[in-house]
């Protein structure tokens, strides 16, 4: 049975890296709610017109409409063997709707949380730096540049530091994530659908665990 992968993790947990690896190695499309809604801006369908009207009126798209958007996108051929959901579900109500969709599509849900201690997440984000020329990523705590604030490959270039990667902002983002996501984690735990992997390791070690979960025929 093909899988619907609900990949969860706090900011800085490495969720994006793992989604890219799953896409590249298992050919599982990464389905983002943001991308789906943006695609509807130019689509000429009744559903697209309904969503555009809601958004133009400044209204939140209700759950029953959002699941229709997810259903329409995941009915395409590229999702036949499974897919990764990015940004959905966000609440237990949406998770219950996704279970109904999974039954309709004859797919199995696997919720995977990449678990990283809060203090480590803060260091990952606060310490992040990147080169504006080559895109190389550094971290002052875990992968510092050879010389302070400049790229190893382009020593004439100052590294970028995102303004929102400061301790106060990071702590606020982590608190918001915990408050909003906890009910969803509890939902999947109660349904025996939640898998937790240790996100403190190297990306390849984390991926190996996730791939084993995704490719397993068991629960």
Residues with catalytic function: 15, 90, 128, 162, 173
Contact 142, 123 (CB under 8 A): yes
The residue among 1, 13, 17, 192 whose CA lies nearest residue 118 is 13
Strand order in the sheet with 107-115: 30-32, 82-86, 2-9, 107-115, 194-198
What percent helix, strand, coil does the chain show, rounded to 5?
50, 20, 35
Which secondary structure element, helix H or strand E, spans residue 4, and what is its range? strand 2-9
């Amino acid at each position: 049975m093909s899988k619907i992968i609900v990949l969860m993790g706090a900011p800085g947990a490495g969720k994006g890296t793992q989604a890219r690896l799953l896409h590249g190695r298992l050919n599982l499309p990464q389905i983002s709610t943001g991308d789906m809604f943006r695609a509807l801006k130019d689509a000429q369908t009744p559903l697209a017109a309904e969503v555009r009207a809601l958004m133009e009126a400044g209204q939140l798209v209700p759950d029953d409409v959002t699941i229709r958007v997810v259903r329409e996108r995941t009915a395409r051929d590229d999702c036949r063997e499974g897919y990764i959901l990015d940004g959905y579900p966000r609440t237990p109500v949406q998770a219950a709707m996704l279970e109904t969709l999974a039954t309709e599509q004859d797919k199995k849900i696997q919720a995977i949380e990449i678990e990283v201690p809060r203090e480590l997440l803060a260091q990952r984000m606060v310490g992040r730096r990147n080169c504006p020329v080559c895109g190389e990523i550094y971290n002052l705590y875990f992968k510092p540049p050879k010389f302070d604030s400049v790229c190893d490959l382009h020593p004439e270039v100052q590294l970028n530091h995102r303004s929102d990667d400061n301790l106060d902002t990071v702590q606020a983002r982590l608190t918001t994530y915990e408050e909003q996501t906890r009910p969803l984690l509890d939902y999947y735990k109660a349904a025996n659908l939640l898998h937790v992997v240790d996100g403190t390791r190297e990306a390849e070690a984390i991926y190996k665990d996730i791939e084993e979960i995704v490719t397993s025929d068991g629960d």
